[in-house]
Structure formats: C-alpha cells, structure tokens
Chains A and B, each alone.
Chain A
C-alpha cells in the first residue's frame, strides 16, 4: 500500500517534468522575428529594385566590423524577398573564414583578404574553384577621444603612434600642443584603449601607423595588438564604451561606434592642406587610391595608407565577402548571388554612409558587379 502511494507520487513528479517540456514545446509556436514596429528601420525607404532569387536559408558569418551594414542590407533584402532568410552571424573574421572553409556557411565576411593557406583550405569546399574576395564595404576607422573641453583635436601619424605606444603619456605633451595651438589641453593622463581580441580594425590601424609613421611604429601589423601597455576592451563596442566612460581616454573603432556614442574623433594631419576628418566621404576618397591585387575574379585590394590627397582620410578598413568562384553550394547559390548583387549595386552601396560606412569606389564596385553573376 505504502509503496504504491510512493509510486503515484513519483509519477506525479515525472508528470511535472513532462508538463515543463510540453510548455517549452508550446512556446516554440509563438514569438516573432518581426521587430519593424520597434526601431526596425523603415523597409520601404531603401528597398529599391531588388531582384529576388532562390529561396530558403542563407547562412553567413564573419567580421563584426561590417555587422551594421549587413544588418541593413539583410533587413531591406528580406523585406523585398521574404522567401529568403539570411542569417549573418558577426562572430569575427577568423571564425567566419573557419566556418566558410568547413562548409557551414554560404559566404564569409572578413576584414582582410584570404591568406594563401586559407585559399588552399577553401579549395576543399569550392569544387574546381577557390575562395575569392569581394570588397563590398569600406569605412573609416575613427580615432576618438574623451577629453572635456576639447572638441577639436588634430593629430598626425607619428604622434598617434607614440600615444598608442605609451610614449606620450599626458594630454598636454608638447607634440600634441604643437598640432593644436588653440586647444586648452589638460594635463590628464592619456588612457589609450586598444582591442583585446584580434581584429581587422587593429590590423588596419597598425598598417596605417607602420606606413605613415615608420620611425615611431616598428611593429608588424597583426590582428592582435602588438604594442605593450595601454588598456584594452573586447570588440569595437567595448572600446567605444570604455572611451565614453573614461576621462582622458582615446581609442579606435569604426566610425559608426563614434557616432552612436557621441564621441569626438581626431582629425588627421596627413600632409594635405587641411587636417582630414573621419567621414564616410573622406574614407571613400582614400579607398579610391586602392589597387586591386587579386588575380582573376579575386578582387583583394591593396590600400594606400600614405595618401596625401586633400580630404582623403587614410585610416580605412575594407571588408570583403568571401565566396567560391566555382563550386558554391547549389541550394544557396541563387539566393547568395541575388543578395550580393543587391549589396554591390548602387542602392546597396548608397545606404552605407547612413551607418557610418563608406561605399566602395565606383570603379571597384563595377568590377564586383561584373564578378557576382559569374559565380557558380
């Protein structure tokens, strides 16, 4: 008798568990991806003429630097082509390329062109082909600071290099004063923030400093921060958040983070007539000086960081979409081509400056537009 009663109670406990599971199953039935009412951008604005193609799920992952551009494109594209669901996961360029080379994603977003060994690895996935780089998003890397009372700050490459190398430690250093005779610089300590994770943004800043301030920046431009000292935070957003919070801080990140955090950005004295501000437009001018170094359909770019052209902002970042030239996955090929065509097209490029990015110069964009239809 007693045992039986226990048994029944045991059953009840099990029923409880079953109830929990079925509640969970029920939950999957409601809920929504539709955020248009709250903050989701107006889809009618920039939808333009999008030629839909294919259907199903299109998976991509990679660079977080182009996350906001991707979000915008995906939103517009999916509004026009509801048959395709695109999921871009901003896990970082390295992770994106790894996933692409494992065949889990249709394309990858990356802050830097594929390296040789990565191209080799891509041949396993791309039958009879290989991974190619398609430059789709450009953008300025803003150097922003937090210094009350100073709204305008001009720096040049050597000074910037010394600041990030902890050689200039105070804001009223003579080198900074010389460039900003009118500014009232406090004697606060400089808190230079860099990325603690590996990043194409770091690499591009390093390439700029290495090219424009050879004497003061002896480090090899790697994705990980090479210099010692300074403080760090993870991700562009993390650095921006720290700069925002800490008086006397300086840090670098994509322009959109400076705009969204309301941070002042440094104007660069490049040797041009006027110090150059970090804007989408000025970045486009600098990207226009880039040369295509990829072979065939590969459109990897070599950027000119030492440009002295008027109004050209030289700390720039170009991010690529990486796909196979031949041997893309058949089930997602059409959707991918249609999406990339939209992104590379005039409508897609035009809206980039709204998010603090820079359109790829026409000449290069034209080449990208020619390559995309040939993907197979």
Chain B
C-alpha cells in the first residue's frame, strides 16, 4: 500500500507548471487562513458565551472552508476554488476525526495514570464498596486472561482448519456457504453471541455463570476473524511451494502442515493476535455470562469471575469519584493490553512479510 502512495505523490503534484498561467495564492495562505479562522472561531465562541469547545471548533472549521473558497475564487478562479475547498474539507475531516480520538487517548492516559500502580495491579476489590478508595484489578486481569485464553484455545484450531478447508480443499456449494457465513458471522453483534450462549448453555443446559460460558461466546466472535485472516495468508503462499512438495510425493496433508502452514505462520500469528485483541475488549457477552465478582476466582469453570472490560463498566456504574478513578485505571490497562497485542502483531507481520514470497 505504502508503495502506491509514494509512487503517486509526484504525479499529483504534476499540475504545478500551470501556475505560470494563473495567479496563485502564496503557499502560506491555507495555513494563515486556518490560524485566522481558529482564532475567530474561539473569539466568536467566547463572545457569544458558548460553553462547548465543540462549537468553537465547528465554527472555526466552517469559517475556514468558507474563507478559503471566497479568497481562492477571487484570486485563482472557480475551478481552483473548488479544488481548494475540497482540500480544506478533507483537512477539516481529518482534524474533526482526530480531535475526539486524541481526547479519548489523552483522558484515558491522564485519568488512568493517577491510580495505576503496583497495588492496583495486584489486588482485587474484595471488601471494598463504592465509597472506599483503593482496591485493584488483579481479579479482573486473571478473569480476562483466562477467558480470552480458553476462547483462543478453542477458536484457533477450528478457525485454522476451516481456513485450510476453504483454501486447500474447498470447492462447490459447501465451501461457498462457509465463505458466506464466515463473512456474515464477523458481523454478529457481541451481545447476540452472548444471548446465544445464554439461551443454550445457561437456559437450556442449566449451567451457571462462569468464565467458561463467557469464553464460549468469545469463541464465536473470534472464529470468523481467525478464519478470514488465515485464509488471506494461506492464499499468499505461492503455489510453486505446494507443487514442489507434492511432486516429491509428500502427502497433501503433510504438505499443508509442513510447507504451507510454516510459510504463512507469521501472518497467521498476526491474525490470531489481532483477533485476541478484539475479543479482550468485549464487554457485552461477559456481562451476560460471567457476571463479574469482586474476588479472585482462578477457576474459570466454576462460579462468576471478573473481567477487565466488565470491571470498567461496573465501576463506571457505581458512579462515585473513587469508582470513576478505578474505571479509568482499568480502561488504561485494557487499552495498553490491546495496543501491545496490536503492535506486536503488526511487528510480527512486518518481520515475517518477506517470507510470504511476495
């Protein structure tokens, strides 16, 4: 992807010579307009007494777009003005999107780091209520690791085998159906997966809430992601490798196990880790099936367990300053966990990339 971007960039700058025939705005004009409209937006916001910073931003953005259009039409003509306005709209879009996301990241880090320490990581919430400070997320960490671990143990083999079936064997109606439903399955809302396990495991088979019940729901969410990413990776394995191996008389299953899978293992690992990152943050199924606990429960098969995302939700619901602190702290840990998984996964992908034969 990045190659394409680099290749294209010079091409898009090609029109430069035409500026000889036109009057053009100086290079600093857009920046100046941006600064001016930001200042004006803030000024209007202050003067009109708008409390919300969001409004200031919106006014500034609008001013920027309008003023750019006006100035460019006057100086460069309407086609150029349209081009300018498109450019500024695109920039505004980018800024609009960055602001909330930056705020999210900043708030989580700032609020979360206030409480995050060794004690917070190594203690449970036993014996504390919403009015007491202290406590920690140890029980929730254990719960999340176990639930996600079990889900991974179930989902990865099934997902791998399904992907192998689709790429190496699958032809005909069955394979088409599997492909289609794997796609559809990626879109199942997590709460529906939770309801499904609730209706079977809990309501029909009469089992109680446990970490394992949560794992089952997470498995459903994880499998299609694993299938999809593994499939993509297996497709990248060059056919010459398979042909060479088969020509030597190696059985097909050994070819797959010894040649195809090892070649794609980096990409598969990346896919699995991304899938783990996705399910580690799921709250809804855990809310229905694991229910949460303030004690350490190391046994995922018996009794309710805590989980990190659920802990964030429950502490938020308690609604006191102490519990908000704990919620932010846990949210920060959760984000770090997910981000580390993502970064490592992508690092593996980059490190293994040449091995895919492209």
Contacts and interface: CB of A to CB of B under 8 A. Distances in A.
A238 B119 contact: no
A71 B294 CA distance: 10
A37 B261 CA distance: 52
B262 A102 contact: no
A261 B130 CA distance: 11
Interface of B: 119, 122-135, 138-139, 141-142, 145-146, 149, 206, 208-209, 241, 258-259, 261-263, 265-266, 269, 291-293, 295-298, 303-304, 317-320, 323, 348, 352, 355
Given A89-B291, A238-B319, A6 B269 contact: no
Contacts of B355: 6, 9
Contact of B149 (A9, A21, A41, A95): A21
Contact of B123 (A17, A32, A238): A32
A359 to B, nearest CB: 19
Contacts of A181: none
Contacts of B241: 3
A3 B262 contact: yes
B145 A24 contact: yes
Contacts of A3: 241, 259, 262-263
Given A237-B318, A238-B319, A33 B208 contact: no
Q: In terms of DSSP, what is the predominant structure of the interface of chain A?
A: helix
Contacts of B138: 31-32
23 contacts: A3-B259, A3-B262, A6-B355, A9-B352, A9-B355, A13-B348, A24-B149, A27-B145, A31-B141, A33-B139, A35-B123, A35-B125, A35-B127, A37-B134, A38-B119, A38-B132, A39-B134, A87-B303, A89-B304, A91-B291, A91-B292, A102-B208, A261-B320
A215 B80 CA distance: 71
Contacts of A16: 269
Given A3-B262, A237-B318, A237-B319, A35 B126 contact: yes
Contacts, number: 137
A13 B131 CA distance: 45
Nearest to B297: A87
Interface string A220-251: 00000000000000110110110010000000
Interface string A1-43: 0010011011001101100010010011011111111111100
A13 B355 CA distance: 14
Nearest to B266: A13
Given A10-B261, A238-B319, A33 B124 contact: yes
A17 B134 CA distance: 33
Given A35-B124, A35-B128, A237-B323, 8 more contacts: A6-B263, A7-B258, A13-B352, A24-B146, A32-B296, A74-B127, A102-B206, A260-B131
Given A3-B259, A13-B269, A261-B320, A39 B132 contact: yes
Contacts of A14: 265, 269
A59 B303 contact: yes
Nearest to A235: B317
B206 A40 contact: no
A131 to B, nearest CB: 17
B236 to A, nearest CB: 13
A57 interface: yes
Enumerate the 4 nearest inter-chain pairs by beta-carbon distance, A residue then B residue, closest first.
Answer: A38-B134, A241-B319, A104-B208, A39-B132
Nearest to A67: B129
Contacts of B348: 13
B303 A238 contact: no
B102 to A, nearest CB: 25
A85 interface: yes
Interface in A64-94: 67-68, 71, 74-75, 85, 87, 89, 91
